[in-house]
Structure 1
Amino acid sequence: MSDKTILVVGTYDTKDAELTYLADRVRSQGGEVRTMDVSVLGDPQVPTDYSKHDVAKAGGSSIDKAIESGDENTAMQIMARGAAALTLSLWRDGVFDGVIVLGGTMGTDLALDLCQALPLGVPKYVVSTVSFSPLIPPERLAADIQMILWAGGLYGLNSVCKASLSQAAGAVLGAARAVEAPKWDRPLIGMTSFGKTVLRYMVSLKPALEERGFEVAVFHATGMGGRAFESLAAEGAFAAVMDFAPQELTNHIMGSSISAGPDRMTNAGATGTPQIIAPGCYDLVDVVGWQPLPDRFKDSEVHAHNRLLSSILLGADERREVAMAICERLAGAEGPVTLILPLQGGNEWDRKGAPLHDAEGMAAFVDEVRKACPANVTLLELDAHINDAEFADCALAVFDNWMDEGTVPRP
């Protein structure tokens, strides 16, 4: 008897052998399979559980319209919308426990939409010829997506690509069996941060919030962490957010590839989620450490965090630009926002006497925040550093006041 069911998705007109191999490997390990065809022109050798016609219809279109478009990109976007909608519907109906999608660039494009449609905790695997490629922007990646390179599998089965396919089949079935999905039995607080060598407030805030009956998820704000944070914020998953490390916004506006996407610092506001904001590491731009520095930062001071990551210290004018960007995003918030401004610094490296201390730059940032802070935001200036106990105490006091007022319901 099978215990878990895996949905296998792909273009069965061109990748029938590979998709069938995937399904056979799942079945060989005791799993059950449902199949979905997302091709346009051809047909599978054996009918799938969900046909290309079912997929196109779920996207509000038809295969005929996809073909009549005469454009493969347009046709595949029709199928991507349908696949995402149909897969979510099947998940809600309890039809499957995990999904695996196989493809090249076309199939991967579709797979990204499909995986984003599914909630956090649903095992979602993509076998792709472009896994881990810079072709894939971070904002299109589901928070818990898993990918494996489809090595040597562009055309036909062979021992090389079977190694990838069989691993993926075992991984998605194993994940479906092992996953402990979010229970949502306690209201969730979303917090952003970096490691304790740079930012430390979570060490005291997390247990304090847990004592109040909340669950706390701390997201590492290095691009993908912020992407996961924003995707959950867009779903309204948080009772409140403590977005204390918005550096990914700095990265984005300064052109770094370490970005969480253009919607960073917007989704909590759009859903009316109460927000406590602070400018942790606002003064740094993270760049890929093993790549040459961007030309605009050739003469800037650089802190090599490790071989993967370097942090560039911003000047006064650039810090003003960051302050305006933060305030512009907070201006659109539908819910309450408090911005805590620690006047003595925003990361451990910028304390007085530390290597990245810049009093003039900090003063410029503070001045611009004061000028640009929108009317819907409560600005609290704090004569302390973000890593001082006073900052965590202040954030907790704001939160407790919101609970007293009913802004954040008590658990």
Structure 2
Amino acid sequence: MATIAVLGTLDTKGEEHAFLADIIHSRGHDTLLIDAGTGGEPTVVPDITREEVAAAGEVELSPLLDRQDRGECVSAMSMAAPKLISELASEGKVDGIISLGGGGGTAIATAAMRALPIGFPKVMVSTLAAGDTSGYLGTKDIVMIPSIADVSGLNRLSRLIFSRAAGAICGMVETDVKDSASRPLIVASMFGNTTKCISEARKVLEDAGYEVLVFAATGTGGRAMESLIESGMVDGVLDITTTELADELVGGILSAGPDRMNAAADRAIPAVVAPGCLDMVNFGEKDSVPSKFSDRTFYIHNPQVTLMRTTPEECRELGAILAGKANRHEGKITIMVPHRALSEINGKDQPFYDPEADKALFDSIRDKAEVEVQEFDEEINSSRFARACAEKLLENIRSHKEKSNTSLQA
């Protein structure tokens, strides 16, 4: 028997969530009915009250209820619910989560679901599921089911949709995922301009017994990689392509946000980092590039992708950013620097060849880094550099394991 959290605004959708709970009970599982409503009194009795939800997030509920500002209430519950659900999951008190909602309910429930690790069963039945759901999903594996009609009462259509959703969450918690034979996992960042490097490095890592999962450094890919690292499933990080830092700094379209490179540091996961593709900022069609950059150097990668060369000033700052993030790392991390080219179009006689900008980047990394830095007279896609990165990561993983074993024995 599993326990499934049934989270919702029980003041307006209590009957519907109670129906979900009944279907789940009929399948032999238990439920925790959780009220995240902030309007009238709940129409069904919850197992966890709205006051308890608010308290988990250190939210003062009474003033919110008095003001009855819907936006403020939804925002508050969207901060509190993730803390409660995350705590319940970490304590083994829930094995899955399901919710029904319109705009407010979807915002609250998916915020809670995004706080859960990848692989944890999550189902959201929503009036918004037919549109752009990227803001609700983030980088997590939330199953979104269109409610078709509004989530308002029980009728022949809603009973059908809700029953299927309940069956989905039950099936998810009932499925035993056997991963005992899986190889330890390494994640890697890659761009078209660093494909050769990652392909060569991956062979070395796979020959050493690791599974390598590659993420495109396209903003969403970087966030997804960070999310997987946070889940605790990752044994090593080969972060060769850190170009998303440039988009975050300069204003390109492929930023992964300010937390890029933070997950490995926070969890002390062994890592190798390189300034791959920090010679470029990404934009869409040429006409979409902001006019303030009109005097810059560009490369048309394809009709939909325009690359802009980073300046010496930007490179100096990017070096400091990369080094600063590496310095936060409490585990074993090494910065690997390829002096001859940061990308396929950065080498001598290539469109983004700029020795002054590259030197600013390299000097800044060297000056600011408090961790190991190894420098190579190689292009990033050379076989020697790729193999050196892979072998260094394997060394860092071994060192981490030895340190962990020593700590356990002590």
| Interval containing the TM-score (normalised by the shorter chain) | 0.7 to 0.9
Question: Is 1:278 paired with 2:295?
Answer: no
Q: Partner residue of 1:376?
A: 370
Q: Partner residue of 1:389?
A: 383
The 3 A distance-change label for structure 1 pair 9 and 277 is same
Q: Partner residue of 1:146?
A: 143
CA distances 1:290-327 after superposition (whole Å, capped 9, x unpaired)? 993333445653435576xx242324344444334323
Q: Partner residue of 1:314?
A: 309
Q: CA RMSD in A?
A: 4.0
Q: Partner residue of 1:102?
A: 100
**Once the 2 structures are TM-superposed, how far is the Cα of residue 20 of structure 1 from its aligned partner?**
4.7
Match of 1:51 among 27, 49, 52: 49
Q: Would the aligned equivalents of 1:324 and 1:369 in 2 still touch at CA under 8 Å?
A: no
Q: Counterparts of 1:323 and 1:283 in 2: how far apart (Å)?
A: 11
The 3 A distance-change label for structure 1 pair 5 and 220 is farther
* Count of residue correspondences: 401
Q: Partner residue of 2:85?
A: 87
Q: Would the aligned equivalents of 1:336 and 1:376 in 2 still touch at CA under 8 Å?
A: no
The 3 A distance-change label for structure 1 pair 150 and 262 is farther
**Once the 2 structures are TM-superposed, how far is the Cα of residue 232 of structure 1 from its aligned partner?**
4.0
CA distances 1:155-210 after superposition (whole Å, capped 9, x unpaired)? 56678877875665454444434473866976543322235x75133333334334
Q: Counterparts of 1:134 and 1:116 in 2: how far apart (Å)?
A: 16
Q: Counterparts of 1:306 and 1:149 in 2: how far apart (Å)?
A: 34
**Once the 2 structures are TM-superposed, how far is the Cα of residue 66 of structure 1 from its aligned partner?**
4.2
Q: Would the aligned equivalents of 1:199 and 1:348 in 2 still touch at CA under 8 Å?
A: no
Question: Is 1:293 paired with 2:327?
Answer: no
Q: How does 1:320-399 map to 2 (within 5 A)?
A: 320-351=316-347, 357-360=351-354, 363-373=356-366, 374-399=368-393
Question: Is 1:192 paired with 2:179?
Answer: no
Q: Counterparts of 1:297 and 1:182 in 2: how far apart (Å)?
A: 49
The 3 A distance-change label for structure 1 pair 135 and 296 is farther
Q: Counterparts of 2:194 and 2:369 in 1: how far apart (Å)?
A: 31
Q: Counterparts of 1:141 and 1:184 in 2: how far apart (Å)?
A: 30
Q: How does 1:211-250 map to 2 (within 5 A)?
A: 211-234=207-230, 238-250=234-246
Q: Counterparts of 1:122 and 1:95 in 2: how far apart (Å)?
A: 13
Q: Counterparts of 1:256 and 1:377 in 2: how far apart (Å)?
A: 28
Q: Structure 1-normalised TM-score? A: 0.78
Q: Counterparts of 1:205 and 1:125 in 2: how far apart (Å)?
A: 37
Match of 2:122 among 121, 124, 133: 124
**Once the 2 structures are TM-superposed, how far is the Cα of residue 277 of structure 1 from its aligned partner?**
0.8
Q: Partner residue of 1:209?
A: 205
Q: Structure 2-normalised TM-score? A: 0.79
The residue identity in structure 2 corresponding to 1:313 is M
The 3 A distance-change label for structure 1 pair 35 and 281 is same
Q: Counterparts of 1:306 and 1:111 in 2: how far apart (Å)?
A: 39
Q: Counterparts of 2:370 and 2:106 in 1: how far apart (Å)?
A: 41
Q: Counterparts of 1:164 and 1:363 in 2: how far apart (Å)?
A: 61
**Once the 2 structures are TM-superposed, how far is the Cα of residue 230 of structure 1 from its aligned partner?**
2.0
Q: Would the aligned equivalents of 1:121 and 1:180 in 2 still touch at CA under 8 Å?
A: no
**Once the 2 structures are TM-superposed, how far is the Cα of residue 27 of structure 1 from its aligned partner?**
6.7
CA distances 1:23-51 after superposition (whole Å, capped 9, x unpaired)? 56667878765432211232333323333
The 3 A distance-change label for structure 1 pair 62 and 209 is same
**Once the 2 structures are TM-superposed, how far is the Cα of residue 13 of structure 1 from its aligned partner?**
1.0
The 3 A distance-change label for structure 1 pair 315 and 375 is closer
The 3 A distance-change label for structure 1 pair 240 and 221 is same
Q: Would the aligned equivalents of 1:120 and 1:181 in 2 still touch at CA under 8 Å?
A: no
Q: Would the aligned equivalents of 2:202 and 2:390 in 1 still touch at CA under 8 Å?
A: no
The residue identity in structure 2 corresponding to 1:386 is I
The alignment partner of 2:111 has SS state of: helix
Q: Counterparts of 1:222 and 1:132 in 2: how far apart (Å)?
A: 24
The alignment partner of 2:281 has SS state of: strand
Q: Counterparts of 2:63 and 2:227 in 1: how far apart (Å)?
A: 31
Runs of 5+ in structure 2 lacking a partner? 406-410
The 3 A distance-change label for structure 1 pair 169 and 348 is farther
Q: Partner residue of 1:176?
A: 173
The alignment partner of 1:228 has SS state of: helix
Q: Kindly indicate which of the two structures has a greater share of residues assigned to helix.
A: 2
